[in-house]
């Protein structure tokens, strides 16, 4: 393997601010954060399309878009995402739509002269019982978590497609795998949101309605890792500028928190003054899920936003934008 930045990457991405850059999926949690970071960093030639303007599952439309726009850089943040219930209910959608999006975008990028592409995946690509903390080398060493294997298989295929195009065409395609993310534009839906936005919503609604208590499933003992989406966006800029190699790269905070401590912190940030109760008859889920992001740390990147500060900002965004 070449050293960081030495394989097929020459000029600096961060110095190339007039270059045309396409962010696929720019309105989601991840894509919107990347766009904010790009604008803040002085990039002035962003090509952005809504799903209505460009359906990334339609190969002919994607090829037409790339042949007309010919972006120099591409960041793939578009994906069909959802929780356990959605993955169990719509497995065909989760594998087919994600395979279509990434195959169309990666292939059209290569064919239309894109200089560099970054594909974003998810920590669910790793085996269910991977040793903790999970290194990049754990990929494909054991069976996946059955509840989201359809999504995970698609994301693994995306990593392998980037690697295959690099090997066959010496093309600069790289992959980053983020840990659990949170921040502005998250999904706060009462049924299918992830643990952190779900806690924010429940404590806020309890505060507004004057409820005496909030009951949370399980014992609160599982350990989880969270990364603010603005830190991920910062890592994306770093990888686009500094990294050019075959293996994918984990992007995590390296900090673990118990669900109990997380719930107590959310309660405090929201200002709910009732009681927090646990229901130990309900499942806890995986005891621990932490990614090993030492590879990225050794390159010189580390997150800047503390969990408390990130929660304060996320709660403010939720109140301002989401709560009806």
| Positions marked active-site | 151
Report the C-alpha gap between 301 and 318 in whole angstroms.
28
Give the residue among 189, 233, 216 at the shortest CA–CA distance from 274: 216
Give the residue among 232, 255, 229 at the shortest CA–CA distance from 314: 229
59 phi and psi angles, rounded to 5 deg:
-60, -45
Work out the number of other CB atoms within 10 angstroms of the CB of residue 254: 18
Q: Is the dihedral of CA 128, 132, 133, 135 positive or negative?
A: negative
For 20-41, b/e burial (b = at least 16 CB within 10 A) is bbbbbbbebbbbbbbbbbbeee
Report the C-alpha gap between 75 and 8 in whole angstroms.
17
Give the pair of three-digit tokens for residue 55.
Answer: 């359906």
Give the residue among 174, 178, 194, 175 at the shortest CA–CA distance from 186: 194
Work out the number of other CB atoms within 10 angstroms of the CB of residue 73: 24
188 phi and psi angles, rounded to 5 deg:
-105, 25
Give the residue among 133, 139, 138 at the shortest CA–CA distance from 256: 133
Phi-psi sector, 68: left (phi>0), alpha (psi -120 to 50), beta: alpha
């Amino acid at each position: 393997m070449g050293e960081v930045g030495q394989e097929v990457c020459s000029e600096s991405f961060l110095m190339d601010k007039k270059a045309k850059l396409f962010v696929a999926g720019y309105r989601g949690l991840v894509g919107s954060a990347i766009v904010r970071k790009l604008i803040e960093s002085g990039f002035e030639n962003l090509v952005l399309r809504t799903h209505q303007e460009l359906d990334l599952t339609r190969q002919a439309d994607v090829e037409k878009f790339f042949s007309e726009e010919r972006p120099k850089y591409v960041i793939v943040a578009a994906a069909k995402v959802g929780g356990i219930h959605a993955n169990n209910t719509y497995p065909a959608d989760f594998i087919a739509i994600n395979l279509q999006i990434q195959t169309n975008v990666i292939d059209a990028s290569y064919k239309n002269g894109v200089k560099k592409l970054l594909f974003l995946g998810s920590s669910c690509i790793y085996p269910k019982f991977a040793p903790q903390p999970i290194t990049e080398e754990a990929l494909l060493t054991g069976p996946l978590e059955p509840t989201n294997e359809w999504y995970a298989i698609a994301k693994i295929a995306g990593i392998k497609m980037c690697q295959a195009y690099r090997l066959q065409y010496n093309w600069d395609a790289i992959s980053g795998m983020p840990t659990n993310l949170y921040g502005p534009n998250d999904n706060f839906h009462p049924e299918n949101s992830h643990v952190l936005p779900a806690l924010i919503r429940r404590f806020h609604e309890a505060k507004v309605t004057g409820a005496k208590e909030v009951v949370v499933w399980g014992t609160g003992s599982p350990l989880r890792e969270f990364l603010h989406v603005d830190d991920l966006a910062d890592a994306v800029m770093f990888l686009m500028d500094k990294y050019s190699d075959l293996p994918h790269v984990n992007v995590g905070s390296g900090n673990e928190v118990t669900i109990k401590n997380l719930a107590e912190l959310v309660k405090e940030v929201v200002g709910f003054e009732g009681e927090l109760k646990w229901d130990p008859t309900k499942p806890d889920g995986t005891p621990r899920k932490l990614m090993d992001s030492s590879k990225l740390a050794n390159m010189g990147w580390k997150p800047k936003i503390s969990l408390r500060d990130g929660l304060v900002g996320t709660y403010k965004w939720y109140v301002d934008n989401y709560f009806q």
